[in-house]
Amino acid sequence: MSIYVGNLSYEVREDDLKEVFTKYGNVKSVQLPMDRETGRVRGFAFVEMGTDAEEVAAIEALDTAEWMGRNLKVSKARPKEDRSSFGDRRSNSSGGDRGGYSRRY
């Protein structure tokens, strides 16, 4: 399981997050996605703790807490969605690849 940390300052670094979360247990990893175009932090991160109990403690303590001038949003990370390839519209309710348009009779 992983923790989602949102509403982060654009000045935050991985070491900053690790320092904060270490207060609640062993930090196994920190992922801080960067914007490809600007090279700056995207405003959210994922933190993995050593145990479920440590993750729960961190979530309870840090959700809505003010840090670096922002109120954090801390929760269990949802599993990554399986995204189909662009243009694969088989799940389209109109049946088949019709560019998202339904038939009219």
- CATH of residue 18's domain is 3.30.70.330
Q: Give SS3 for 78.
A: coil
- Please indicate, yes or no, if residue 64 is contained in any of the structural domains: yes
Query: Hey, what are 38's tokens?
Result: 């600007």
52-100 pLDDT tens trace: 999 999 999 999 999 999 999 999 999 877 766 555 555 555 555 555 5
Q: For residue 31, count other CB atoms closer than 10 A to its CB.
A: 14
Domain range for 37 is 3-76
Q: What is the pLDDT of residues 22-48, one digit of tens each?
A: 999 999 999 999 999 999 999 999 999
What is the number of other CB atoms lying within 10 angstroms of the CB of residue 42?
14
81 in any annotated domain: no
